[in-house]
Chain A
Amino acid sequence: MTELTSKERVLRLLRKESIDTMPFFSGMGMLVMPGIEKAKVKFATIHTDAERMAISAVWSARLMNFDCVVIPYDMTMESEAMGNQISLYQDSEDILYPTIPQKIWTDLDQVVIPKNITELGRLPILPKAIEIIKREAPDLPLGCWQLGPFTQAGQILELDQILKGVFKQKAKVEKLLDDLTDMIIKIGQYLQAAGCDYITLREPGVAADLLSPKTFKDIIKPRLTRILDSWKSPKLLHVCGQTEPLLAMMADCHADGLTVDAKCNVRKGREILGPDVLFMGNLDTYKLTCDEKTPKQVVIDVVKDMIDGGMDAIMPGCDLWPAIIEENMKAVVDTTHTYGTKPTHV
């Protein structure tokens, strides 16, 4: 097979068609410091400006040879559009992502989601950033993502209130999750209409070390399925933390592929899912790509083991932490491309 572009490679993989080699891509943040520096922008300014967001994303991919570009970077856009103030930490020298320090609502039934949410806050900059990325990097697939309803609820209300609410105020929690599900469908469709090539539904707050598999089945899964049914393919589902007890249910949410973090045992995961489900993620984004004490050879060996263990693509288990060790990051990408030449879905 002639060599594919990254875009062809990723999109063919997501359609389970044959590919030349395994891609290194993600459904979540792929922003790294070399890309930010090359774009000559400050970290705190890249979340609020389409041009800065787009260019830092493209440079990150180009410099590290990633097989994708992903925006946005932070989890507060929707909450901000609903009226919450964000902290950008503009005075900090550290890499700090925007947060919502104080939430405007204190009760589950106070939440109001504006009908025109895609016109509010920073959400309108996303189609502009998508346009720039598609112009600057037509050979790279562009991924966007949305938080799932449960995790998103934790961006607009206190998380412990939602967690306890599952037992104490179940009807109110379910109503809120339904409203957020509608919002997430709408924003996902808005991003797809703007040109994103694949979309990821990430629901990190429902891992099996936080919520019971029963709660996942009863409360989370039906809503994840409704969202994924409403989006076009290709579409991925990501859950963080303990996922082995959830994988079979995740595979039944109608995503085109599943992604997990470093806590999931690759071989066990593959055994649960069988050979036909696209299974990705798992790369430890601190130990392998940021810890200066991890030797390059260890990085190479781990990536090879993930491929041997049955991963369909090497993908970070979470957003990449931007302060990478460049040599190790490049080793991840190179090993994926050179060792990953035996796609499982040919």
Chain B
Amino acid sequence: MATKEELLERMKNGVIEYQEDEVRDAAQQALDEGYVPLEMIMDGLAAGMVVVGELYDRNEYFVPEVLMCADALYAGLAILRPHVPKSTEGLNAQVVIGSIQGDVHDIGKNLVKMMFDVAGWEVHDLGRDVPLEKFVEEQLRTDSEVVAMSAMMTTTMLGMKKVIKMIKEKNPNVAIMLGGAPVTKDVANLFGADGYAESAGNAVSEGIKMIGRLREMRNKGK
């Protein structure tokens, strides 16, 4: 039987070194040996992803490496997440996420989605090339607290402005997150959004930093 620390280390390093099989095996072993799944997610998988974010910020890792690390994280999450009781997650939040119409890129969107998945949110992923009204309909249908949209190109970015207006008219309390290559903080402010990730690259580091903050909040609450 492995100690909790050994398994956490294996999961963390497996994420950092993008070893999907290693992460999967360690997650299964942690589950079989009765360790608390949420702890393994936050202190193993998420802790590994925080290091990945640091490596990215230091230009040691680039997007391909981060994508492979994300695959490793999901390999562990797929095993552990179903065993986390809803009540222990501390939140029961929902997010609608998608890439906006005219945009068939979804790398940044998927990395931000990973942050919500780690945090245990219910994610309503609309995919990519999503018609503007669909964001509004899905938010109303699910009563989600957050709508997250990405646009990779300037040419599709302005669609976001319309969605924000439509959503805020119907439900001013929804928090709106924007991300994508052409979106700057100025643009997000101009459009009336509540948060932003500057680029595919920044989505990586912003998404990962959010995971770090989640861990901090959880540790404070312990």
Q: Does A319 contact B (CB under 8 A)?
A: yes
| Of the residues A87, A208, A321, contact of B154 by C-beta under 8 Å | A321
How far is B156's CA from A319's CA once the two chains are assembled, in angstroms? 13
**A322 — which chain B residues lie within 8 A by C-beta?**
155
Q: Does A83 contact B (CB under 8 A)?
A: no
A160-B62 contact in complex given A97-B155, A241-B181, A318-B154, C-beta closer than 8 Å: no
CB contacts under 8 Å to B, within A182-227, are 208-212, 215
| Of the residues A94, A209, A291, contact of B101 by C-beta under 8 Å | A94
Indicate with 1 or 0, residue by residue over B17-55, a CB within 8 angstroms of chain A CB atoms.
Answer: 000000000000000000000000000000000000000
Check A159–B159 contact: CB distance below 8 A: no
| Of the residues B59, B181, B190, contact of A291 by C-beta under 8 Å | B190
CB contacts under 8 Å to B, within A81-95, are 87, 89, 92, 94-95
- The count of chain B contact residues (Cβ–Cβ below 8 Å) is 32
How far is B206's CA from A85's CA once the two chains are assembled, in angstroms? 34
How far is B142's CA from A58's CA once the two chains are assembled, in angstroms? 48
Check B67–A89 contact: CB distance below 8 A: no
A101-B64 contact in complex given A95-B155, A96-B156, A321-B154, C-beta closer than 8 Å: no
Check A286–B129 contact: CB distance below 8 A: no
**B155 — which chain A residues lie within 8 A by C-beta?**
95-97, 319, 321-322
Q: Which residue of B lies closest to A211 (CB)?
A: B62
Check A210–B63 contact: CB distance below 8 A: yes
Check B101–A92 contact: CB distance below 8 A: yes
A286-B187 contact in complex given A89-B101, A96-B102, A211-B64, C-beta closer than 8 Å: yes
Indicate with 1 or 0, residue by residue over A272-301, a CB within 8 angstroms of chain B CB atoms.
Answer: 000000000000011100110100000000
Check A212–B62 contact: CB distance below 8 A: yes
Q: Does B84 contact A (CB under 8 A)?
A: no
Q: Does A168 contact B (CB under 8 A)?
A: yes
A163-B101 contact in complex given A96-B156, A210-B200, C-beta closer than 8 Å: no
Check B63–A286 contact: CB distance below 8 A: no
Check A99–B102 contact: CB distance below 8 A: yes
**A210 — which chain B residues lie within 8 A by C-beta?**
62-63, 200-201
Check B199–A163 contact: CB distance below 8 A: no
Q: Does A100 contact B (CB under 8 A)?
A: yes
Q: Does A166 contact B (CB under 8 A)?
A: yes
Contact stretch, chosen from B2-10, B88-96, B103-111, B169-177: B103-111
**B211 — which chain A residues lie within 8 A by C-beta?**
none
Check B199–A160 contact: CB distance below 8 A: no
**A160 — which chain B residues lie within 8 A by C-beta?**
67, 107, 110
- The count of chain A contact residues (Cβ–Cβ below 8 Å) is 37
Check A167–B157 contact: CB distance below 8 A: no
Indicate with 1 or 0, residue by residue over A19-45, a CB within 8 angstroms of chain B CB atoms.
Answer: 000000000000000000000000000
Check B154–A285 contact: CB distance below 8 A: yes
Q: Does B123 contact A (CB under 8 A)?
A: no
Q: Does A164 contact B (CB under 8 A)?
A: yes
Q: Does A323 contact B (CB under 8 A)?
A: yes
A101-B62 contact in complex given A94-B158, A241-B181, C-beta closer than 8 Å: no
CB contacts under 8 Å to A, within B169-222, are 181-182, 184, 186-187, 190, 199-201
Check B201–A101 contact: CB distance below 8 A: no
Q: Does B146 contact A (CB under 8 A)?
A: no
**B153 — which chain A residues lie within 8 A by C-beta?**
97
Check A167–B181 contact: CB distance below 8 A: no
Q: Does B65 contact A (CB under 8 A)?
A: yes
Check A286–B154 contact: CB distance below 8 A: yes
Check A287–B186 contact: CB distance below 8 A: yes
CB contacts under 8 Å to B, within A125-182, are 159-160, 163-164, 166-168
**B64 — which chain A residues lie within 8 A by C-beta?**
163-164, 166-167, 211, 215
How far is B182's CA from A322's CA once the two chains are assembled, in angstroms? 15
Check B107–A159 contact: CB distance below 8 A: yes
How far is B190's CA from A95's CA once the two chains are assembled, in angstroms? 20
Q: Which residue of B lies closest to A29 (CB)?
A: B155
Kindly provide the distance from the CB of A282 to the nearest chain B CB, expressed in whole angstroms. 15
Check B62–A215 contact: CB distance below 8 A: yes
A94-B199 contact in complex given A163-B63, A318-B154, A321-B155, C-beta closer than 8 Å: no
Q: Which residue of B lies closest to A100 (CB)?
A: B104
Sample of 8 A–B contacts (CB below 8 Å): A97-B153, A160-B110, A167-B64, A209-B201, A286-B187, A290-B154, A291-B186, A291-B190
Known: A163-B63, A163-B64, A322-B155. 20 other contacts (CB 8 A): A89-B101, A95-B155, A96-B101, A99-B102, A99-B104, A99-B129, A100-B104, A163-B107, A164-B64, A209-B62, A209-B201, A210-B62, A210-B200, A211-B63, A212-B62, A241-B201, A286-B157, A290-B154, A291-B190, A293-B190
* A interface with B by C-beta (< 8 Å): 87, 89, 92, 94-97, 99-101, 159-160, 163-164, 166-168, 208-212, 215, 240-242, 285-287, 290-291, 293, 318-319, 321-323
For the complex of A and B, the 8 pairs showing the least CB-CB separation, nearest first, are: A209-B201, A96-B102, A163-B64, A212-B62, A99-B104, A210-B63, A321-B154, A286-B154
